[in-house]
Amino acid sequence: MNHPVSARKSFIQIKTIYIALLAGQLIFLAVAYILVSNHLVWTKPGLDPLKYISMVSSVSALFASYFFKENFNKEASRQGNLGAKVEKYKIGSIISGAVIEGANIFNLIVYLLTKEYSPIILFVFLIIIFLLQFPSNTRIINDIKLTKSEQDEVMGRI
């Protein structure tokens, strides 16, 4: 039997997924850095275009992430009930985070292949953006324009 998840539990799930996305990126960064610093990765000449592709993909991911998040937030705020609002917000948050994560994974792969630090700088920039988009209670309330009663239900003040 399929039971609907409460709004409060859904927001906890969103935060948990966000933290997992962040952890995956940071673990891969640590692994990449260890491999490069211990000279366990060999580079091949002619991979410089990857650095430029990395820059373009990072900027593109930034805009795509913003677009998806805003689009899903608008849809969420138009929903009638809290469950539908939360579901749209959850999907938007996951997609937005995954887009940034994808660009960062690509940045780390470029770092592994080229041993250049420019992809790491892009990685750090995107991680800062990722952290600034963390779904805090205030952000969630403002993003999908929750009513006072919906806020109380989400924050567990019933």
Residues 126 and 58: their CA atoms lie apart, in Å, by 7
Residue 74: how many other CB atoms lie within 10 Å:
14
Q: Which two tokens stand for residue 3?
A: 């039971």
- pLDDT tens digits, one per residue of 40-80: 988 877 888 999 999 999 999 999 999 999 999 999 888 88
For residue 142, the one-letter residue type is: N
In the structure, what pLDDT confidence band is assigned to residue 130 with cuts at 50, 70 and 90? very high
Residue 80: how many other CB atoms lie within 10 Å:
7
48-78 helix and 82-114 helix, angle to the nearest 10 degrees: 180
* Res 157 pLDDT > 80: no
Q: Which two tokens stand for residue 60?
A: 């593109």
- Enter the pTM of the model: 0.87
Residues 146 and 150: their CA atoms lie apart, in Å, by 6
* Res 95 pLDDT > 90: yes
